[in-house]
Structure 1
Amino acid sequence: MNLYVNFASYLGVALLLLAAGIVLFMISTPKLKEISLIAEKNVSAALVLGGKIIGLAIVLGAAAEYSISLFDMVTWGIIGIVSQVIVFILAEVITIRFSIHKAIEDDNRAVGVMLFSLSLAIGWIVAKCLSY
């Protein structure tokens, strides 16, 4: 029975952290309104949000795999989420030639694919840094 309780605990916490990560992304990037853009069939916004979700899931999966306790998983999950958000904000600052949020609003799919890829790459790197 303990195995099932552990599974449910880790899954529940991971899903809560995933939701918190998505909310944190939306709060920290208020210019980019992915949900409303997706409702308007904006593919670039869907790529960006999808990349964020997958990147966060990669990090949270690693946090669950390598943690020694539920508290350890939460700690490393939060560190991973914050790392993802910081890198995404830095991407907006670094791209001085154009505005990322404007490009996504205009459904610039090249930018959408790049941000999708960036989210996956950062998620993968952060996940690998979580291993002991």
Structure 2
Amino acid sequence: MLDLLANFSVYALSAFGVFVIAMLLITLATKHKEFELIGKGNQAAALSFGGKLFGVALVLGSAIAHSVSLVDMVIWGFIGLVAQLLFFYLSELITIRFSISEAIEKDNKAVGILLLLLSLSIGWIIASCLTY
């Protein structure tokens, strides 16, 4: 039983470490300041940022479920994170008719919802790709 608890703890701490790194990289990758906007009650920023985080969580969950070792899980977690960030930049093409950062700063909830769902969709696709 202690072996299982130790194994769980190591995987959980490692996954949370990757998650925190992902959170930091996401905040660095965006032009607007999510935490500052969220602190001011900007719902679009919260939707967009929350979607990115949940997308990363989907990828990490798949990496945990399908990894053969802790190192394998961390590697695939970072690969998924990089893929998530690349697709985030590609999403700029989908939204080329408006500036994402400007829309988020103006609390455009429609854009926030679109980015939330886009991030979840991307996370699900990447997570599913990690199963093969």
Q: What's the TM-score bracket when you normalise by the shorter of the two chains?
A: over 0.9
Following superposition, the deviation at residue 96 of structure 1 comes to: 2.3
Supply the distance in 1 between the matched residues of 2:97 and 2:62 (Cα, whole angstroms): 35
Supply the distance in 2 between the matched residues of 1:95 and 1:112 (Cα, whole angstroms): 12
Query: How do 1:1-132 residues align onto structure 2 when only pairs under 5 Å count?
Result: 1-29=2-30, 31-132=31-132
CA distances 1:72-98 after superposition (whole Å, capped 9, x unpaired): 000100000011111111212443211
Supply the distance in 2 between the matched residues of 1:93 and 1:128 (Cα, whole angstroms): 23
Superposed CA RMSD: 1.0
CA distances 1:46-93 after superposition (whole Å, capped 9, x unpaired): 001110111111100000000000000001000000111111112124
Supply the distance in 2 between the matched residues of 1:20 and 1:44 (Cα, whole angstroms): 22
% identity of equivalent residues? 51
Number of residues paired by the alignment? 131
- Unaligned 5+ segments in structure 1 are none
TM-score by length of 2: 0.95
- Unaligned 5+ segments in structure 2 are none
TM-score by length of 1: 0.95
Following superposition, the deviation at residue 18 of structure 1 comes to: 0.5
**Matching residue's letter, 1:57:** A
